[in-house]
Structure 1
Amino acid sequence: MIPQTLGALAGFLALVAPGIVFELRRERRRGRHQETAFREASRVALGSLVFTLVSVLLMTALQTTGARLFVSPADWLTRGEAYSREHLTLIVVSVAVELAVACALATGFEAFFAHRRGEAATVQQRSAWAQALRADRPPGTRAWAHAQLENGTSFYGYVRSYTPSGPLADRELVLEGEAMTSENDGATKVIGEDWRRVVIPGSKITYLRVTYLDAATGEPADVAYATREVTDK
């Protein structure tokens, strides 16, 4: 069922937001697992329902103390549209507070369970290619890569672009530079003077070695950054 009005869409997003917050924080610590869309959606919906109900109960309990800070669910259900027109601002404030409380509960419960399981570290949702070619690259440097192919051929060159994630069969690596080199059966040939770029399918790469050269001089960067070998098949 698709929401037909802006208000219905906003209400739907507010309802599922706590479950999404819980799942996103959970994936940061445990990584993402392959599962069916139905199972993932069911977990988000169940989490959202629980956190929303707890949030509504807390707000209702606050109302019973005599404070009239939020809408009255009973009056809203009884009078319907007339109540909505008369208390539109109060309804908006109540929904915003409920959403904030529910998301805070989701964040707090996730942190509590993570602490009990000892999951203090954050899992990076990136591939080894993205880590080595972008995240680990020092400022002012370029990534120089050695791609070893299945047939024994090697290519050396500056990394022009690459597919950062997804199945290895769908990834591609592009090398460039005047010093770009091809090596096959012990014969080494500089091909950068004749060919501008080489596009290498990720599925053909046995391993990928990366180092970082100064972008201005072409000299090796700080020795603290060792050459990295990527084998995330």
Structure 2
Amino acid sequence: MIPEGFATLYAFLGLVAPGLLFQFLRERARPALEETAFREASRVAITSLVFTTASIWILALVSRALPGALIDLSEWIRLQSVYVGNHLWLVAWSVLAEVGLACLIAWLVAAALAKWFDDSGGRYSKTSVWHLAFSASKPDGKAAWVEVRLADDSKAWGYIHYFTTDLSLEKRELSLKGPGLAVQPKGGDLKELDRTYLVIPGPEIRRIGVSFKDTPC
């Protein structure tokens, strides 16, 4: 038999999995809620309970139509560990089927909510917009070329060399490289730079324009 500690762990993960999946899918269609850890955990637990209960009812109907395909829930409750010992693989299969069905119901409900109530037409992401614009959306064989407008209304141009995304804007940095690395002071002329990189602190950045060009040699 499975040790009690492992069985408890797997049972816990199986119970919370539908709620976690549902919340993950919902956060792809709308912004995540700002709430305490307790409220977030409670929301996951409640949604998991709803989907798990629905899947148990469905499987109970299936077991009545197909005797022996799934566990006899009343016998499991009555005999407990004795029933598990005598029907270990059937119990494992039934639990797996229940968790899978609960996750499927969670996915269907999330998809229905996204279709009927989320009319934004797009998706939200916790990933930095810098990453999405500079890297994730970059076509194959292309490199991100940017125009950066700074706080003093000067501008800088160059290929993206390096950027930080896991920090606040006050601590971020953006590094540009050539060929074509250039700057233009406010009211001045454009000047190409012969240096290797140009590092711009995040607080100085006011706007970034992005285009994609052939990868420089």
Q: Indicate the TM-score class for this superposition, using the shorter chain for normalisation.
A: 0.7 to 0.9
- Change beyond 3 A, Cα 1:187–1:66: closer
In the alignment, the residues of structure 2 paired with residue 120 and residue 179 of structure 1 have an alpha-carbon distance, to the nearest angstrom, of 38
- Change beyond 3 A, Cα 1:37–1:156: same
Letter in 1 for 2:192: V
SS in 2 for 1:174: strand
The answer for the alignment partner of 1:84 in structure 2 is 84
- Tell me, yes or no, if the aligned pair for 1:161 and 1:174 is still in contact at 8 Å: yes
Structure 1 position 135, deviation (Å): 3.8
In the alignment, the residues of structure 2 paired with residue 141 and residue 117 of structure 1 have an alpha-carbon distance, to the nearest angstrom, of 37
Structure 1 position 171, deviation (Å): 3.1
The answer for the alignment partner of 1:226 in structure 2 is none
CA offsets per residue over residues 130-170 of structure 1, 9 Å max, x none?
Answer: 33322443322211112222133432211012234664334
SS in 2 for 1:152: coil
TM-score (norm 1): 0.78
Letter in 1 for 2:144: A
- Change beyond 3 A, Cα 1:134–1:66: closer
- Tell me, yes or no, if the aligned pair for 1:162 and 1:172 is still in contact at 8 Å: yes
- Tell me, yes or no, if the aligned pair for 2:143 and 2:216 is still in contact at 8 Å: no
- Change beyond 3 A, Cα 1:26–1:128: same
SS in 1 for 2:162: strand
SS in 2 for 1:39: helix
* Mapping 1:1-233, distance limit 5 Å: 5-65=5-65, 67-117=67-117, 119=119, 121-125=121-125, 126-164=127-165, 167-185=168-186, 186=188, 188-191=190-193, 193-194=194-195, 196-216=196-216
Letter in 2 for 1:80: Q
Give the paired residue count.
212
Letter in 1 for 2:98: E
Letter in 2 for 1:71: I
Structure 1 position 92, deviation (Å): 0.8
In the alignment, the residues of structure 2 paired with residue 121 and residue 71 of structure 1 have an alpha-carbon distance, to the nearest angstrom, of 43
Q: Considering only aligned residues, what root-mean-square deviation do their CA atoms show, in Å?
A: 2.6
Letter in 1 for 2:174: L
- Give the 4+ runs in structure 1 shifted more than 4 A: none
Structure holding more helix per residue: 2
- Change beyond 3 A, Cα 1:212–1:46: same
- Tell me, yes or no, if the aligned pair for 1:157 and 1:175 is still in contact at 8 Å: yes
Deviation larger for 153-162 or 32-41: 32-41
SS in 2 for 1:64: helix
SS in 2 for 1:5: helix
CA offsets per residue over residues 45-87 of structure 1, 9 Å max, x none?
Answer: 1100011011112222333346122222333233333322221
In the alignment, the residues of structure 2 paired with residue 10 and residue 135 of structure 1 have an alpha-carbon distance, to the nearest angstrom, of 35
Q: Percent identity?
A: 33
